[in-house]
Structure 1
Amino acid sequence: MLENKSLWSQIKEIIMFTGPATGLWISAPLMSLIDTAVIGQGSSIELAALGPGTVLCDYMSYVFMFLSVATSNMVATSLARKDKKEVQRYISVLLFVGLTIGFCMLFFTKVFGTRALTAFAGPNNAHIIPAANKYIQIRGLAWPAVLVGWVAQSASLGMKDSWGPLKALAVASSVKIVGDIVLCIVLGYGIVGAAWATMVSQVISAYMMVNSLNKTEYNAYAISIPSSSDLLTIFQIAAPVFIMMMSKVAFYVLIIYFATNMGTYTVAAHQVMIQMYSMCTVVGEPLAQAAQSFMPELLCGINKNLPKARMLLKSLVTIGVALGLLLGIFGTSVPWLLPNVFTSDQNVIKQMHRVLVPYFFALAVTPPTLSLEGTLLAGRDLRFVSLSMSGCFSLGAVMLMLVSSGGYGLLGLWFALLGFQWARFFLSLQRLLSPNGMLHSQDWSKYKPEKLKAV
């Protein structure tokens, strides 16, 4: 119980939780990064095709992260209130919602995948559409498993269990690596082999994630159709989070869109840098998850303690700053010193090296930003989270259009990303330091979901 622990004890507890949780968050971008490295050795066209392909697989999946956040938030809050029946009901209902959305996305990929790729890549990149379409059609088969696995994983994290899901992803990642070696390197299937390896590993991961949750005192196989009141509760939490996630994803998609229209070498370079960036930034996601798992008991549980909540935030930000600097150094060193890991094309490498400065500073600020946003989500200050993120997206989109039309190239796009990240940091920090914020106000009822219908 964190309310009885000192600052350094809290930091130790957070590290023990976030250490295994880091493996959970790094798994998906690591798989795409492995695809990038393997495919880049064989074909620049297939490497470029991964750009729009991963948008419809990885970045589109981030749109549904609201389901993961809602699950973790609802489970952790119910546990803070010692209401186990409510925990089981939320798990059963959210598993049904995840499965339903997963099948809808499978249908969308099969029917509209090619059109979405063509619209996104543009007429100048028609030559990469066939390879990208093969990639998304195979990856799309795993959509139901992916979303069910996310719900199971988030429920476990809401219970402060990060080891069980980590074991599942360790097995799935091993399957992915072996699959890439056999299908891509040995058999030479290229982008198709990478897609099959990723799809199979995601299905295995989902099954083991659900099985891990089922070993707790809750039944992970009891799927229930939600009632109208359940749907309303989920919507009141998920809708602002959805706006937040959509704004973030849409901004990254816009960057890829503008980069795609700058030519094959530019989009190939951006594919490498954005995959490396994604893999590094998700290392900070466990800090947001730690805030959502540990903060509710201090903000609204039976052991409510706002001074300890402020101390917990200090611990999270301290770890975030240190982690951000480490990620910035590591994330910049790899494409700077070892670019041949991804590609041997000197035109692509030259484009990669141009964006290293904004790339470093954007990486460095991400972990402390995620710790602040995770605290806002834990306290259900959802209206502010959704409005601030949509505001950052709007200003960022204008900046992207200006630098793109101004001919600033890939460097201009990455400076726009830098501004987007730092704006998120300062807005969240100001909100939490406000005397009327959740960490200083005793009236937590104004942050309850029923107050957020207008959102």
Structure 2
Amino acid sequence: MQTLEEVSENNGGDELTENGSLWDQVTEIVKFSGPAVGLWICGPLMSLIDTAVVGQGSSTELAALGPGTVFCDYTSYLFMFLSIATSNLVATSLARQDKSEVQHQISTLLFVGLACGFFMLFFTKCYGRWALTAFTGAKNTEIITAANTYVQIRGLVWPAWLVGWVAQSASLGMKDSWGPVKALAVASAINGIGDIVLCRFLGFGIAGAAWATMVSQVVAAYMMIEALNKKGYNGFAISIPSRNEFLQIFTLAAPAFVAILSKIVFYALLVYFATAMGTKAVAAHQVMIQLYCICAVWGEPLSQTAQSFMPELIYGANRSLSKVRELLKSLVIIGALSGLILGSIGTLLPWLFPKIFSSDPEVIHEMQKVLIPFFIALCAAPPINCLEGTLMAGRDLKFLSISMSGIACSCTLLLLGLSRSGYGLSGCWFGLVAFQLVYSL
């Protein structure tokens, strides 16, 4: 397989880089990644809305959202390999100008997404409470019961969720970010209105938040498929992949899965260590980690830009390593500026307006103890996303998986040491900073 170093220095290239000017490149990146922000912000935004609404009613249910969202949101990130494989395969097929191949790639990946969705539906139904108990500890009965209610309701959407994810990634591989973002804008509105009505007015608490999120995700999945249909492809056509096709998907997906799993396990361990510090600490961590996620995902469109545009420069007819480097330079510059802005805004919210998330003074105190590492972590996230997306576009996933798993193991030991040394929630967040900085190197 061809690597970035083997790409020839040919003339020509993609619309994103042919203008030559750094400013032109930045403008084109913003045109694509600007709308794509909505795609990445939707999931964390839904969980943050749940957090804000539920937190006004019960600290126990707010704490329960910690393991509940870990199970739903973090587990969903395990299937990011579907997004990576879809974007890469679709973008590469489009570079070859083979529309029938694009349709076939979409159909086989829709089957994989649907199969994974039904597997997760079964797992949630049969083993959801067991997983939550293992994660939070058997003594936290109230938290487990509330979290299981949330998980079981949201688990109903797994098949539609993953099918919609494949459809979204196919659109991004076609360099279209507007179609999917419209779907998720509608979904976010449904989730917000549903949370307010079901939780605040009807008093359903954490169950109401789960129903609102679940319905919004079904609507989003349907609209994602419709957006794909409008491009001339059949988003409802599902095809079982052949052995060779499955191996092709597996070659891309397996290393990506290992890298994503390593990252998810580390983030889940942050919640695990916070849970051991008591209800107030885990409630504060739930607020901060959701706020971190909703800010950090603003850097994900930069990764997606690399995955959508670089395959043509690497594998297309007009390949050019110099233009890949130019694009990466532009992405990193935007990423650094984005990190500084996001870090500043994200830190000001819990510092100056903490009662947006909780009225409990103990929870607020725990939140404000971690503001310094929280700021550093947010600043570092977007530039790292740029580098990660470039590796994915170049299919250098073996290196990505090995480095990520090794760093996750090392930083887990650091996290364990900080926790046992009595650093509390601050130790968890400094552990996250160490994880990011080592990974970026």
TM-score between the two structures when normalised by the length of structure 1: 0.93
1:2 aligned partner, one-letter code: L
Residue 416 of structure 2 is matched in structure 1 by 401
Offset of residue 393 of structure 1: 0.5
Root-mean-square deviation (CA), in Å? 0.8
Partner of 1:270: 285
In 2, Cα distance between equivalents of 1:260 and 1:314: 40
1:160-179 equivalences under 5 Å are: 160-179=175-194
Which one of the candidate residues 186, 198, 206 is aligned to 2:213? 198
2:4 corresponds in structure 1 to: none
Q: Structure 2 residue aligned with 1:232, among 247, 259, 284?
A: 247
1:85 aligns to what? 100
One-letter code of the match for 2:276? N
Q: CA deviation at 1:120?
A: 0.5
Question: Given the alignment of the two structures, is residue 366 of structure 1 paired with residue 381 of structure 2, yes or no?
Answer: yes
Give the aligned length.
426
Paired letter, 2:82:
L
Tell me the residue number matched to 1:72: 87
Task: Measure the CA separation in 2 of the matches of 1:82 and 1:250.
Answer: 39
Structure 1 position 2 matched with structure 2 position 16: yes
What's the CA shift for 1:124?
Answer: 3.3
Equivalent position of 1:320 in the other structure? 335
Structure 1 residue 424 displacement after superposition = 1.5
User: Which position in structure 2 is the counterpart of 1:40?
Assistant: 55
Alignment of structure 1 residues 25-424 onto 2, 5 Å:
25-424=40-439
Deviations 1:37-75 (A, max 9, x none): 001101000000001100110011011111111111111
Shift of 1:207: 0.4
Instruction: Give the 3-state SS of the residue equivalent to 1:4 in structure 2.
Output: coil
CA distance in structure 2 between the partners assigned to 1:165 and 1:411 by the alignment: 37
Q: Deviations over 1:13-54 (max 9, x none)?
A: 110001110001000000000100001101000000001100
Q: Give CA deviations for 1:273-319 in whole Å, capped at 9, x if unaligned.
A: 00000111111100000000011111121111111111100110010
Letter in 2 for 1:114: R
Paired with 2:99 and 2:302, the residues of 1 have a C-alpha distance of 25
Q: Distance in 2 between matches of 1:335 and 1:142?
A: 32
Do the aligned residues in 1 keep the contact of 2:16 with 2:29 (CA within 8 Å)? Answer: no
Residue deviations 1:193-223, cap 9 Å, x none?
0000000000000000011011112211111
* Cα drift, residue 181 of structure 1: 1.2
CA distance in 1, matches of 2:17, 2:183: 31
Contact 2:17 2:25 in 1 (8 A): no
Q: Displacement of 1:79 after TM fit?
A: 1.2
Match of 2:9 in 1: none
Distance of 1:424 and 1:87 partners within structure 2: 34
- Measure the CA separation in 2 of the matches of 1:230 and 1:95: 13
Amino acid at match of 1:332: T
Alignment partners' CA distance in 1, 2:98 and 2:403: 32
Q: Which residue of 2 aligns with 1:451?
A: none
Structure 1 unaligned residues grouped into runs of 5+: 427-455
Give the corresponding residue for 1:449: none
Q: Which amino acid aligns with 2:397?
A: L
SS in 2 for 1:201: helix
Q: Could you tell me whether the CA contact under 8 Å between 1:124 and 1:261 is conserved in 2?
A: no
Q: If the length of structure 2 is used for normalisation, what is the TM-score?
A: 0.96
Shift of 1:104: 0.7
2:159 maps to a residue whose letter is P
**Once superposed, which parts of structure 1, at least 4 consecutive aligned residues long, lie more than 2 Å away?**
none
Counterparts of 1:59 and 1:94, CA distance in 2: 21
Higher RCO by CA contacts (8 Å cutoff, separation 6 or greater): 2
Q: Which amino acid aligns with 1:176?
A: N
Mapping for residues 424-439 of structure 1, pairs under 5 Å: 424-426=439-441
